[in-house]
Copies of this chain bind each other. A is one copy, B any other.
Amino acid sequence: MSTTEKLLTCIEHFKSIPEHSIVELDNFRERGGLVVGVYCIYAPSELIRATGAVPVGLCGKRHDPIQAAENDLPSSLCPLIKSSYGYAITDKCPFFSLSDVLAAESTCDGKKKMYELMGRLKPLHVMQLPHTQKGEAVHRYWVDSLHDLEAFLVTHGAQPIKSKELQRQIKLHNQMRTKLASVMHLAADERSPLRGSDLLAVQESKGFVVDIEGYLDQLDNLEQELRAYLAQPNLKPQSGPRLMLTGVPVGKGSEKVIRIAEELGARVVCMENCTGVKGLELLADEEATPYEALAERYLRIPCSCMSPNSGRKKSLGELGKEFGVHGVIDLTWLGCHTYNTEAYSVQKWVEEALGVPSLHLETDYSDSDVEQLRTRIEAYLELIDL
């Protein structure tokens, strides 16, 4: 195989991780393992794994189940919430079916209230996330909430956490995030052949990991293939403006903005969102008491559900520079009040920190506005001075 073929084969492997995961989760459950469905990067994967359970990402990214969800939920909720709930009630998501329990979180109004209805389907625990990040009371409250999650999991058959195992998981997750960040930087190289859909697949794969050590090997492999590819002489730089996508989470099935931007000749090289690289550079302190370190790490996530969310300004500035972006698209799912309201500040932050133009888009998972989006993105790309 050529270097290019090897790299693309490796990417194909990452695209197939969710599918393979179904079999692995099934086997894990047959061996008595507890599968914990999670909806958000606030779900502390280290903690869940330290109880011997396995977390699996359930956050809804496709349009299909939304109609069913709207029987119970207001249509004005964001598509992510409706899709997540729709998958649950129609039982069309294999990962929801495979989840023994659900670890939810109070990130936003819509999710919080949706979980009340979802809790009728499976045992569901809502982690009590504070509205803000700073202060001793806030930290303690979140530490308590992490302990409550452990207690919930133990009630459902998981093992009480041993400090050493939690420490080991913290190290493994730090390695995973560092490795993923490294891969994302290589993938964004101006000579890299990877597209937004490839980055999405790699980023999303981390939500479907049963064997985390095996996954680290796969990331190593991908990193090596990327390095080998980029070591080739005389590779031409990819043309087109380099874009950062910020705002709401995006996944396979809800990537229309990335697709359109790339069809129009841009490259989405960095996704500053919770399905992307946001949070990958936030590592838990391996020397601190594990519970404290975890709480501290997760509370630093610069999500718009936090007020104030000054970490996002920092994150946009740093990632924008690291990835050398020429523009920023700020995406809001219709109905997401926190990202939508924050868009007002993001425009200023991007201008101040990066001096590049930004475009705020509000849309949903449907294809009804694809041509409208294309027109707006096209006009926006013309503004970018390369």
Contacts and interface: CB of A to CB of B under 8 A. Distances in A.
Give the copy number. 2
Interface stretch (A48-56, A112-120, A223-231, A248-256): A112-120
A340 interface: yes
Given A115-B307, A137-B141, A341 B128 contact: no
A72 B345 CA distance: 9
Interface string A308-349: 100000000000000000000000001101101111110000
Nearest to A136: B144
Interface stretch (A39-47, A73-81, A373-381): A73-81
A305 interface: yes
B307 A126 contact: yes
A72 B344 contact: yes
B345 A304 contact: no
B131 A341 contact: no
B110 A341 contact: yes
A256 B199 CA distance: 51
B74 A113 contact: no
A225 B362 CA distance: 55
A307 B124 CA distance: 13
A358 to B, nearest CB: 16
Contacts of A363: none
Contact of A110 (B144, B337, B343): B337
A77 B128 contact: no
Q: How large is the interface on A (under 10, 10 to 19, 20 to 34, 35 or more residues)?
A: 35 or more
B131 A76 contact: no
B138 A307 contact: no
A367 interface: no
A132 interface: yes
A117 B342 CA distance: 9
A365 to B, nearest CB: 17
Given A106-B307, A113-B304, A337-B77, A130 B132 contact: no
A232 to B, nearest CB: 47
Given A305-B109, A307-B116, A74 B131 contact: no
| 10 pairs of A and B residues whose beta carbons are closest in the complex | A113-B341, A106-B131, A137-B144, A74-B340, A109-B337, A110-B337, A112-B307, A141-B141, A109-B109, A109-B338
